[in-house]
Structure 1
């Protein structure tokens, strides 16, 4: 299959779908190539045991820019529900609600631990910030007590290395999570009897699963004229003077005036022609991603808990988070006699856990429940999914490698990188959509790409900060 287009989008995740849709609305001829047999990327939903589930824990942030939220509401209508957060985190041997409440923290945690937290908060302004590593920066912001009990174990579990080997940039991208504890600590110092909440809670979520959002974007894109081709894995991106030629493993060759790529930067470096320099290739090889095991356990007997998710810093189990997708939404079509849990296990593809069968993985989930005081499961079915490249690893020194590769990518004529993988960022869905909108806005009326406008959009995004799902 051949064809010529104004814009070729590679990757049908949220960023790719939104960019394709918006570009088609502007009158561009657009095609979108996706290697999977479905759209959505990691934001897609699917069915386990008759229950729609997500690939991990997904929410739409209430701070989503108004223009984007307006578009999503127009696509989803009342199915885009505003929900109250019911998450919890394990601290010591206690479960605390997220967002944190100072009264609950004061009531549930040991006085000796609270005294350490309050003392750390009181002296925080006198600590000199060490900006070299995640460990050093977080210790200075929240104090040793919270770091040793929560942030250190979370970092090692999530990233596969101690906090002192992780770049300080990762801490800067967790401002809200750090601020939650700092506000709670200050509240504790003022009055342990005050019932204030550390921060607001809530999110948007579609009625039938998070995948409903990306499915709506795909439907809107097709209606606007986008040609979506699934099972089309790109194996070559060749830039010439007048166009870009994109080929797939099936032998299709497509040409276009502009390419938006959401491919991981190391993949783009490997398949681009002309090829990058040896230095850029070596730098791209050092940009690593964390893998993720998702274990879905069907629980017979109705809802397993009233909470949407449970975050587990405990180093005795590899399970980082357990979520119950049906609790993220109000959907009368969800079955009442069973529920599904999703356990997230960050890992490397070389770790022993990566090769375990489904029943062995379910046993690990049972152990995590027993270690953390969570209810027992009435397991009737289990299945798993493996994601080889879940999110980037910000090891100490990654910045130079990313700069080398990103500098090369910015110099490729007619090719623009965006999305989580394309920019090597740990972004939320609303941020991915915002960048997609910005990329389309940078296309001039004559079809040329305005690099100045795109650079300004990227710089604005970089300064805005990052929020992750554990805040």
Structure 2
């Protein structure tokens, strides 16, 4: 059965939900298609042993514009909490707080490493590194000592590619963290004590990060959006006056405009007319890192006092271990057990991808022992597998992305946005801002203002965020 709408949104992640909601508020008829049986994408929450947990470590950045926060508070009220970050990172054989505290840095790191950091800081202006790879940019900004101890191992673990095989874009998207370590290096050189290098605050919903996307979905439905779950899109046909979107179960929706948050390689595969062979080949070279999430239920109350632990150590594939109940203040959370979430970036062809839950839990236990973290009194374990999480900014990816993006921009009545739709690794608030900008570019007559959207994308590219 066919349905005709003003706007079809493909994908119910944060960007898709926000765009559908905003468009419906403006009076447009909107259908949102999502292949999963729930909304939220990677930002969704789930229940493990009676505790709401996230798919990895998610926060709403404190840099979120106040007007956007006002909209979200309107949906969640006081459940949107301002929290103080309480994270740690393993540097060498020591744990350091994030945000960095200079008393910890100077007290806990070995004198030999502190001397190297201070020397790198003092000679930074004398170095003439080539800014042609992630490794060269980061070495130039924080020095060889911190690169070899923190950033090199983190890069290879997270993206599966050594730093010298990654684009400089990856370094530019880590500007805030790089600047914190750069300041740390200068402070070590000047022996400044008890200095905290950032405020480290963030917003987080009382009932898990998924509460944010669920609130967006509820608001969208209230505004008139038709959300169809378990509706995987298998064809997008573009005609002169409309776009026809069909799903695997046989439904067909036609509309005047489509917002796609699908991964660009997927959109290239299902679009008709099909892109050129060159664009198809370029799309196939845009790769993503998968993520394996291991949830371990710990008996005996909270496992730690920290919300997350980052682990550059190359001896373990675990990148981060978080404890969801520490991200929020929720009296409904139980006090007799907790849940840990271990993040393992990998390829779907890696051996770890095929391990059973108990083997994964044993791997996490080994990680705890290697890094000096407390042991877990395990009473349950379960896992989740996400196939496309981190865009891999390998050297030369820009040429392929430019080719595919140029094709996508030329598709009549189709607009790509969001993390997957633009092949970017952005924050949640940035995805929401882009959704707002996309809806703002729809004229009252339903036509899409490509000029306004291009300006918005350029602004986003320059600043790492959008505007309103």
TM-score (norm 1): 0.98
CA distance in 1, matches of 2:212, 2:337: 24
Q: Note if 1:287 corresponds to 2:286.
A: yes
- The structure 1 segments of at least 4 consecutive aligned residues displaced by more than 3 Å after TM superposition are none
Q: Note if 1:116 corresponds to 2:116.
A: yes
Q: Does the CA-based 8 Å contact 2:10-2:33 persist in structure 1?
A: yes
SS in 2 for 1:81: strand
SS in 1 for 2:60: coil
Alignment of 1:198-217 (within 5 A): 198-217=197-216
Q: Number of residues paired by the alignment?
A: 465
1:310-362 per-position Cα deviation (integer Å, ceiling 9, x unaligned): 00000000000000000000000001100000000000000000000000000
Tell me the residue number matched to 1:157.
157
State the shift of 1:391 in Å. 1.5
SS in 2 for 1:284: helix
Q: Does the CA-based 8 Å contact 1:153-1:313 persist in structure 2?
A: yes
Structure 2: state its 5+ residue gaps. none
Tell me the residue number matched to 1:65.
65
Q: Note if 1:138 corresponds to 2:154.
A: no
Tell me the residue number matched to 1:439.
438
Q: Does the CA-based 8 Å contact 2:269-2:280 persist in structure 1?
A: yes
Tell me the residue number matched to 1:469.
none
SS in 2 for 1:317: coil
Alignment of 1:38-49 (within 5 A): 38-49=38-49
Alignment of 1:49-128 (within 5 A): 49-128=49-128
Tell me the residue number matched to 2:252.
253
Q: Does the CA-based 8 Å contact 1:60-1:429 persist in structure 2?
A: yes
SS in 2 for 1:331: coil
Alignment of 1:347-362 (within 5 A): 347-362=346-361
State the shift of 1:103 in Å. 1.5
TM-score (norm 2): 0.99
Greater shift, 118-127 or 246-255, is seen at: 118-127
CA distance in 1, matches of 2:440, 2:327: 33
Tell me the residue number matched to 1:235.
234
Structure 1: state its 5+ residue gaps. 467-471
1:26-77 per-position Cα deviation (integer Å, ceiling 9, x unaligned): 0000010000000000000010011100000000000002221110011000
Q: Does the CA-based 8 Å contact 1:172-1:465 persist in structure 2?
A: no
CA distance in 2, matches of 1:322, 1:429: 20
CA distance in 2, matches of 1:124, 1:200: 26
State the shift of 1:184 in Å. 1.1
State the shift of 1:122 in Å. 1.1
State the shift of 1:254 in Å. 0.5
Q: Does the CA-based 8 Å contact 1:237-1:247 persist in structure 2?
A: yes
SS in 1 for 2:89: strand
Tell me the residue number matched to 1:367.
366
Q: Does the CA-based 8 Å contact 1:82-1:203 persist in structure 2?
A: yes
Greater shift, 64-73 or 230-239, is seen at: 64-73
Q: Does the CA-based 8 Å contact 2:15-2:432 persist in structure 1?
A: yes
CA distance in 1, matches of 2:125, 2:74: 46
Tell me the residue number matched to 2:304.
305
